[in-house]
Structures are given as structure tokens and as C-alpha cells.
Amino acid sequence: MSAITAILHYDLKRFLRDKLMLAFSVLVLIMYVVIVQVSPDDIQPKWVFATTEEGAELVEDVLKRMVDEKAGDVDQPTIKVVRFKTEGDLVAAFKKQAGIEDEKDNKKEGEKKDDESDDEYFVGFAFPADAKAKALRGEKPEVHLYVDESMPRENQELAELIGQQIALATLSQGLDIDETQKEDALLGKKPEMRSFKEQMRSMFALVILMMEMLAFASLLSKEIKSGTVHALLTTTVSLPTYFAGKMIFGVLLAFTQAYLVSIFTGALTPAPLLLTAYLLIGAVMFTGFGIIVGSRGHDLMEVLMFGMLFMLPGLIPVVTAILPGGDPLWVQVLPTYPLVQGMLTAAESNPDFAPGALLAWSLAWTAGLLLVGVVALRRRLK
Amino acid sequence: MSNAITVNGLSHAYGDFKAIDDISFEVAPGEVLGFLGPNGAGKSTTIKVLTGQVPLQAGSVEILGMQRGGDRSAIQKRINVSFEEKNLYEDMTAKENLAFFARLYGVRDIDLEALLRRVGLADRMNDRVDSYSKGMRQRLMVARCLVNSPDVLFLDEPTDGLDPVSAKSVRQLIHQEAERGCAVMLTTHDMMEADKLSDRVAFINSGKLIAVDTPQNLKQKYGQRSVRVCYEGDHETRIALDDDDASAKVADAVKQPGLLSVHTEEATLEDIFVELAGQGLS
């Protein structure tokens, strides 16, 4: 145990003396805090509700009521209602989503700016011409709901909820809908509607883990290149003790920084225990990467090069998680995928979320990477 | 007194290549054994097996009465190694380097400044090693291998890169350690160095031990002793002392006119190695 303590003590000293890596670490920490601070607090998506003339008033009434009920509590979201004469017109406009004509703003088709379309969600309600008559007769009119499939899943669900609300108002029949949840969602307060800042908080903690992987790999590589590792292994330090010392140092180096900054920025607040567990697993996983990189790299340039080979694919699940749409299979097989998904889902504070599968998946990858790291290091030392 | 190192029938192979082949020798406490051989002869592999850097494949190694392959930690605690490569932590000071290794050996009550003074580095002990010259690093390497006051010391080219004064001080240090009772196994290419430092020398070639004895015995056994007589006019004659009529020949030679000088000559360890191995050390 005293040998491991000595390794930890002197590795920390060496880390603090590595000006380049230290500067890199401090820079990443500063960037993390700055990005989290300057990121927008809330998502204010612009909703464009397209409707046929028959149901336009109904849609407007329902939306107005939903907004009014929450207007004093939250910022007013941007909602536009666009009317179309027929369902055909609505569908055509839907297909050219970027060119929907805003009657109030008197914009022409195709003139809408790209920056506006980025955060606009288009939902179409097509009412049959006899919708009101059918409703009066107690019959159920068939209302077509159009939702862009590239829209984030939670927003598609929201659109469906609004559709159901409209149906409720039309038919004056009670449906099994949680009104509060639905309205909160519209106003950007539903738990799934997480802000960019909230998503970034936990994701940037991963970036810190990756940066520390490079610092750790650099220290390890230097030790191997200079041959000091051989000197260590002729003392009372055995190979397993050396591996243990290096692993503990790598994990502590990455975890401590990511954890402290996460506390400082409130990234752990949604689920402190679970997110801490994911951070710890992430620290171990990136230590595994670090051992592989440190074993392969003979100097700083090689460490950076090999490090990038692991970092860039490792970041892909972070990017795809933030972007709308599902994750392709090749992303799902990346080692960081379950970690990213686990952290994002944990940060959503969803009471229905059972973290077991993602934790186990992350742990399996972590154990595999550590094993590969130990084998790589062992081979290098031979 | 039992041996500090006892090696019996030691063999080691890397795949099909047999690096050492059935070698046996021993080193007594307080003895300095020079381990000599050309590159690739098996010196490094022998040292690696003895110091526990590679596992024992065949034969037996006993260090301080403990079998290699048994309690590794108990052996490592009482030995130390100075490598040919200057494997020091460049980003730490000399004192920190020694303190780190002392901690790894579990040594707490050590006067590092005194140890560094022994190798002439006390005044630079708080400087980072990357500011040291090659000779200073070598001296620090020697100091590092003394942090645990070892009973067995493995030294690889301990005076490599040192100026004559520093080399002499390191030799003195090795003698002091031997006088303390420490067994020293020394590997070097420098035959003069081995001759000065070693109580006995072992020649290894192609993985086999070809001779183990004191330098003096080896010279007597395998070397040619001779007398060289020089005369005016750049003329000289050599008389082998092992010949039966050597005394008479020497007496005649010194009576010849124009005598300038008389020199005794003995074989060097390198001469003997060449004679035994049929090749040089380099």
C-alpha cells in the first residue's frame, strides 16, 4: 500500500510539473466553466402550428389557453399558427418545411432564414371539412396530425399531446391526458425539454475526462521511454502493484477534476449519486484508454496522435446525443455510447429510468478497455 | 558463510534463441564479481533474471538464502540495481528521485543529503535532473542504488561517462560497499575497470560461462607473462617467462650492449577473453 501511495504522490508531483499538460488541463476547465455559463438557460423553440381552416380557431383557442395558463410562470414561447385552405396545401407546405409562409410576418415562401428554421418545430393538424358537424353529431372526426420525423422524440410526443388536447376540446370528451405535463412541455418546462446548458454540463465533464486521459498517457509514456519503469520494477514494486498505482492515479486525476467542476457548475444536481457513478466509470474507462495510449506513444506527439484516435470517436455519441434524431448502430457500439446515454438520461431526472442496463453496459466496456490497457502495457514493458 | 548469490544451471530463452545456457556461479558477501562478455553474450539476461525483471525459466537462483521465484518482495528489499541507461525521473530533483525510491523500499530514516554528498551531488540536490550532466546522472544512479543499503548490488557500467576523478570516487564507493559486506555483481565492457574493481571475473560468451576466477589466476592460467628488453637503435626483444630457461635468457639479454630499458608484461583480461572465446569483447 505504501508503494501505491508513493506512486500516487510522485505522479501527482510530476503531473503538476508538466507545464504543457497542466496548462491544457486548466484551459479545459476554464473553457468548461465558460461554456456552461454562457450557454442559454432554456430552450425556446418556435412552434409552427399549421392547420386547415376548419379547425384553425379551435387550434388557436387551445394554444392560447395553454399559454395563458402558464404565462405568469415562464417565458412566452414563440408560437405561430399558419392556416391552409386544404389538407393538400398543408402537406405541400409541410414537405417544404423551411419555406412555410408566415401570414402575420407577411413572408414569402422560401424567404425564411436558416437560423430561424433551425429551432422551429412544425406540427400540422388537418381537419376534415365536416369536422364541426361531425363533432356536434357526437361522431369522431378524423384529424390528421403531421409531425416532422426528424423532430426530437420528446417534441414529437408533445405534438401528439397537443393533438389529443385539441381532440378533447373538439369532442368535449375527457381523454387520459396529464394536462399539467402537457402544458409544461409546451412552455419548455417538461423534464425532457432539457436546455443546452443542462446537456452540456454533464457532457463537458466527459471532455475533462478525455483531456486528463492525455495527461495521464503522457506521464506513462515518459516513464516507459526513460526506462524509469524498469527501475521501479526492480524495487519491491511488483507489476500488479505498478498497474494498480497507475490506474488509481489515472482515475483520481480524471475523476477529481471532473467531479469538482461538475459540483461547481451544478451538473450533478439532477441525480447526484447516479451521475457521480457515471463520472467514476468514465474516469476508469478513460484511464483504460490512457494506459493504451501511454503504452503505444513513445513521445508527446505520438501520445496526442493516439489520444485523438480514441478521443474523436469517443466524442461522437456526445454529438449525436445533442443532435436531433436517433443514433445509428455504429454509434451505439462505441465504448462511450452507454456512458453518454447514461449520463444524459440520468440528468433528465426521469423517475421511470432504470439505470441498470446502461451502467452494466458501461462497466463492461470499461472492464474490457482496462484489460486491453493492461495487456498493451505489459507487452510494452516486455 | 553462505553465498550472497548462488546460480545453478541457469538457462533462459527468448523463443528459440537461447540467451543463457546452463550457467552456474556464486558471489560471496563482500565480493565484487565482474561479469564480462561481448554484446549479446547473455549478461543482461542473467542480470534480468537475477534481479527479477524476467521470470526464471530453468535452473535455480538463490539470493541471500532466498530462492528466486519465491517471495519476490523479500529479495527485492535487500538488493538494488544500477542500470546502464540513466533511467532517472528528469522532472524531479536529485533528492526527490532518491526520496521516491527510498519510499518504495520502505526506507524512512535515511539521510539523503549525506548519501548525495558521497557521490558529490549534495550542492545540486535540489536541482532537477534534466539540468544534470551525463556524469552527474551516473553518480545519481549510483546513489539511488544505495538508498536501501543493499546486501546485493547489481551495477551495469557504473563508471560509464564519468571523468577520471568521478570514476575514482565511484570505484571507492563500490569498494566501501563491498567492505560493508555487500556482494557486488558488476557488468562492464571496460576490462581495466573490471580488473581494478573485481575480486573475481566471470567471462560469458554466447550464453555460456567460459571462465570464473580471480583476474590474477586467469592471467596466470591463460595469459603469457613476458619481459621486453629495449636497446638503442629501436631494437627490442621479448622473453616469455613461462619458458624453462627464462631466467638465463633474461640475464643474457640485460648483458647485451646498448641496453635502454627492461619491462615486465602480463596479459590483460581482454587478451584472456580473446584466447578463451576466440573473439574480442566489442
The 3-class secondary structure across chain B, one letter per residue, is CCCCEEEEEEEEEECCEEEEEEEEEEECCCCEEEEECCCCCCHHHHHHHHCCCCCCCEEEEEECCEECCCCHHHHHCCEEEECCCCCCCCCCEHHHHHHHHHHHCCCCCCCHHHHHHHCCCHHHCCCEHHHCCHHHHHHHHHHHCCCCCCCEEEEECCCCCCCHHHHHHHHHHHHHHHHHCCEEEEECCCHHHHHHHCCEEEEEECCEEEEEECHHHHHHHHCCCEEEEEECCCEEEEEECCCCCHHHHHHHHHHCCCEEEEEEECCCHHHHHHHHHCCCCC
Average pLDDT over residues A221-244: 93
Suggest the residue from A1, A18, A229, A234 to mutate for an interface test with chain B (most B CBs closer than 10 A).
A234
Cross-chain Cβ contact A10/B77 below 8 Å: no
B132 in contact with A, Cβ within 8 Å: no
Which of B186, B192, B264 shows the shortest CA–CA distance to B230? B264
Cross-chain Cβ contact A13/B96 below 8 Å: yes
- Paired with B81 in beta bridges are B154
* The three three-digit cell numbers of residue B10, written as one number: 541457469
Which of A289, A376, A291, A296 shows the shortest CA–CA distance to A335? A289
Highest mean pLDDT among A150-159, A182-191, B19-28: B19-28
A232 in contact with B, Cβ within 8 Å: yes
Give the pLDDT confidence of B92-128 residue by residue, as tens digits.
999 999 999 999 999 988 999 999 999 999 999 999 9
Q: Is residue A233 scored above 80 in pLDDT?
A: yes
A/B interface, count of CB pairs below 8 Å? 63
Give the pLDDT confidence of B125-168 residue by residue, as tens digits.
999 999 999 889 999 999 999 999 999 999 998 888 788 888 88
Res A244: pLDDT: 95
Q: Is residue A379 scored above 50 in pLDDT?
A: yes
Res A192: pLDDT: 45
Average pLDDT, chain A: 77
B265 in contact with A, Cβ within 8 Å: no
Average pLDDT over residues B162-189: 91
Chain A nearest C-alpha distance from B216 (Å): 33
Task: Please report the beta strands in chain A, taking only residues with DSSP state E, as ranges in sequence order.
Answer: 46-52, 78-84, 120-126, 144-147
CA A253 to CA B151: how far, in whole Å? 38
CA A378 to CA A374: how far, in whole Å? 6
Res B90: pLDDT: 92
Cross-chain Cβ contact A18/B104 below 8 Å: no
Q: Is residue A111 scored above 50 in pLDDT?
A: no
Q: Is residue A178 scored above 50 in pLDDT?
A: no
Looking up cell 373538439 gives A170
Q: Is residue A196 scored above 70 in pLDDT?
A: no
Res A8: pLDDT: 94
Confidence of residue A203 (pLDDT cuts 50, 70, 90): confident
Confidence of residue A104 (pLDDT cuts 50, 70, 90): very low
Amino acid at B122: A
Count the Cβ atoms, other than its own, within 10 Å of residue B41.
25
Nearest to B104 among A13, A14, A232 (CB): A232
Q: Is residue A222 scored above 70 in pLDDT?
A: yes
Res A26: pLDDT: 83
Average pLDDT over residues A15-33: 81
Give A349 or B120, the one with higher predicted confidence. Answer: B120
Residue A145 DSSP one-character state: E
Smallest CA–CA distance from B130 into chain A, residue: A226
Smallest CA–CA distance from B83 into chain A, residue: A231
Chain A nearest C-alpha distance from B135 (Å): 17
- Give the dihedral of Cα atoms B264, B269, B270, B276; nearest 10 deg: 110
CA B199 to CA B184: how far, in whole Å? 10
B52 in contact with A, Cβ within 8 Å: yes
CA B115 to CA B121: how far, in whole Å? 9
B76 in contact with A, Cβ within 8 Å: yes
Cross-chain Cβ contact B91/A235 below 8 Å: no
Count Cβ atoms within 10 A of the Cβ of residue A142 and give its class: 0-12 exposed, 13-18 middle, 19 or more buried: exposed
- Four-residue CA torsion sign, B105, B113, A5, B109: positive
- Paired with B79 in beta bridges are B152
User: What are the Cα distances from residue A48, in Å, to A90, A111, A115, A144, A154?
Assistant: 12, 16, 15, 16, 16
Do B100 and B89 contact (CB within 8 A), yes or no? yes
Cross-chain Cβ contact A233/B53 below 8 Å: yes
Do B239 and B249 contact (CB within 8 A), yes or no? yes
Helical axes A179-186 vs A153-171, angle rounded to 10°: 120
Confidence of residue B193 (pLDDT cuts 50, 70, 90): confident
Nearest to A6 among B83, B88, B103 (CB): B103
Q: Is residue A144 scored above 50 in pLDDT?
A: yes
Res A325: pLDDT: 65
Smallest CA–CA distance from B103 into chain A, residue: A6
Do A123 and A51 contact (CB within 8 A), yes or no? no
Res A98: pLDDT: 44
**For the ranges A104-113, A292-301, B83-92, B243-252, which has the lowest average pLDDT?**
A104-113
> Quick check: helix, strand or coil at residue A241?
helix
Res B127: pLDDT: 96
B80 in contact with A, Cβ within 8 Å: yes
pTM for this predicted structure: 0.73
Smallest CA–CA distance from B85 into chain A, residue: A227
**For the ranges A39-43, A254-258, B43-47, which has the lowest average pLDDT?**
A39-43
Nearest to A234 among B53, B85, B89 (CB): B53
Average pLDDT over residues A242-269: 91
Cross-chain Cβ contact B106/A236 below 8 Å: yes
CA B174 to CA B180: how far, in whole Å? 10
Q: Does domain B5-213 have CATH number 1.10.645.10?
A: no
Give the pLDDT confidence of B196-237 residue by residue, as tens digits.
899 999 999 999 999 999 998 988 888 778 899 999 988 999
Q: Is residue A176 scored above 70 in pLDDT?
A: no
- Four-residue CA torsion sign, A313, A317, A318, A322: positive
Give B2 or A182, the one with higher predicted confidence. Answer: B2
Do B81 and B51 contact (CB within 8 A), yes or no? yes
User: What are the Cα distances from residue B213, in Å, to A296, B246, B282?
Assistant: 45, 26, 21
Residue A123 DSSP one-character state: E
Count the Cβ atoms, other than its own, within 10 Å of residue A141.
19
* The three three-digit cell numbers of residue A95, written as one number: 414537405
Chain A nearest C-alpha distance from B49 (Å): 11
Cβ neighbours of B89 in A, within 8 Å: 10, 14, 226, 228
Nearest to A236 among B73, B96, B144 (CB): B73
Amino acid at A247: M
Confidence of residue A115 (pLDDT cuts 50, 70, 90): very low
Give A147 or B188, the one with higher predicted confidence. Answer: B188
Average pLDDT over residues A269-289: 92
Cross-chain Cβ contact A234/B77 below 8 Å: no
Q: Order the strands of the A78-84 sheet from edge to edge.
A: A78-84, A46-52, A120-126, A144-147
A contact residues 18-37, partner B, Cβ 8 Å cutoff: 18
Chain A nearest C-alpha distance from B240 (Å): 48
> Quick check: helix, strand or coil at residue A320?
helix
Looking up cell 402537457 gives A182
Chain B nearest C-alpha distance from A29 (Å): 24
Give A200 or A215, the one with higher predicted confidence. Answer: A215
CATH 3.40.50.300 domain range(s) in chain B: 5-213
CA B110 to CA B117: how far, in whole Å? 13
Res A107: pLDDT: 42
Do A262 and A205 contact (CB within 8 A), yes or no? yes
